[in-house]
Amino acid sequence: MRVFVIALKDFYQSLKKWQTFVFMLIMPPIFIIMFGKAFAGGGPTELPLLLISNQDQGVISTAMVEQLSASDGIRVELLGLGVDELQSALSDKQAAGAVLIVRGLDKQVVEIDDWSQVIWISGEDILQEIPARNVFERISKQMNAAAQFAKMSLDSNQKALNLITFETAFSEQIQNLTQAPVQIALNQTEEAPNPFSHPAPGMMLQFAIAGLTGVSAILVLEKSGLTEARLRMCSVPAWQVMLGHYLAICLLLGTQFFLLLAFGQIALGLDYLSAWASTLLISIGTILCIAAMGLLIGVISKTEEHTVVYAMLAMFVFSGLGGLWMPLETTGEAFQTIGYLTPLAWAMDGYQAILNSGAGISEIWSSLGVLLVYTMGFLLLTIVIYQRQKSRTH
């Protein structure tokens, strides 16, 4: 009962601080709309251009090129170029991306189920690349499915698997698998991607950290005002005091997330509810992680100014490295590696998977697991520091 009293007291005190409303409820929608308009940018006047160089000319590569060329969501230009030439052509033609199909694809698929001969090369404009790559990935999945069914049909009919028998079986399967499913997928690409799908969760996470300046300052005020000492004199265990503070931060963040997710769903057309269970789990994991970070900031801070400095530092570092401002996939490999050392990169991955493909629970487990590991790490560090501070005061 004491834990909930402390939590409600902190929650009420937080609501009286101007930082709470500015950083958690006022600034996020403003920045979401601003970044969303920037991402929209008026949009391209033409469909994204996809360059294709088919060096293989086998049955799989030919079918893939035909399906890509038939897409209404992209423009296709066929070129007989290598990797270096394609990369130059990407810049010269301002293409969304390029597909290079190296010789020997059919043989590699038949023998070891290896698709590494199909190479995607990213363009410079992420807004054009996303729809083009979506079409490419959907058709690639169709080709893979047709190849697997071709092998299964040969096995069920007790026919030997070789290039000749595979090509015949694949040609039969491609007709059954691609017509209806691919047409549905291609039709979906006619709709422009929602420009708020990245900034909405990104700004929500960024300002969740910024809002910690107010709630973390409450811990500092209690330490400096001896409120915490009086609680201990009243036989309130230290763990109950800290748990109460932690629950208050979770409650405040939960309120913020609920309102901003509802804003995204209703006002921005973001479909969080298509995978509501995944949205709920990734939100809970993120709230627990950021709340643990806020508790740590409150414990290590000696003044209110310190809470502002630490919270702002965490906000800029985790936002910049974690891909909250721009997708990590548009950055270099080294930057991505560093980015995924931060917890918010995994939170963004979870939200992006939900918004872009309606990811189920099984698809966001890795993100959720990393967030919980960071939560435990922040809490453990908080406990160690808090115990040392207590031992010094006695």
User: According to the model, what pLDDT value does residue 186 have?
Assistant: 37
State yes or no: pLDDT of 42 exceeds 70. no
Contact yes or no for 296/378 (Cβ under 8 A): yes
Give yes or no for residue 182 having a pLDDT over 60.
Answer: no
**Would you tell me the crossing angle of helices 238-267 and 27-40 to the nearest 10 degrees?**
40
- CA atoms of 199 and 28, how far apart (whole Å): 9
Structure tokens at 377: 């790490």
Alpha-helical segments (H) within the chain: 2-15, 18-21, 27-40, 59-69, 83-93, 105-112, 126-156, 163-188, 199-210, 212-224, 227-233, 238-267, 276-300, 304-321, 333-339, 343-357, 365-393
Q: What average pLDDT does the chain have?
A: 83
* Residue 185: predicted pLDDT: 39
pTM for the model: 0.65
Mean pLDDT of 25-37: 89
SS3 77: strand
Instruction: Give every CB contact of residue 342 below 8 A, 6+ residues apart in sequence.
Output: 317, 318, 321, 322
Q: How far is CA 113 from CA 68, 103, 129, 139, 368, in A?
A: 22, 15, 27, 17, 31
pLDDT of residue 130: 79
What's the mean pLDDT in 228-233?
53
Domain ranges of the chain: 2-39+195-393, 49-188
Statement: residue 168 has pLDDT above 80: yes
Mean pLDDT on 325-350 = 89
Confidence of residue 255 (pLDDT cuts 50, 70, 90): very high
- Would you say 196 and 264 are in contact if contact means Cβ atoms under 8 Å apart? yes
Q: What is the pLDDT of residue 181?
A: 42
Q: What is the pLDDT of residues 196-223, one digit of tens each?
A: 999 999 999 999 998 888 777 777 777 6
Residue 60: which residues within 8 A CB-CB, separation 6 or more? Answer: 105, 106, 109, 143, 147, 170
At residue 187, does pLDDT exceed 70? Answer: no
Asked whether residue 270 carries a pLDDT value surpassing 80, the answer given is yes
- Minimum mean pLDDT range among 27-31, 108-112, 270-274: 108-112
Q: Are 51 and 99 in contact (CB under 8 A)?
A: yes
Give the closest residue to 52 by CA, choosing from 110, 135, 130: 135
**What is the Cα–Cα distance from 375 to 380, expressed in whole angstroms?**
9
Q: Are 288 and 250 in contact (CB under 8 A)?
A: yes
| CATH number at 49-188 | 3.40.1710
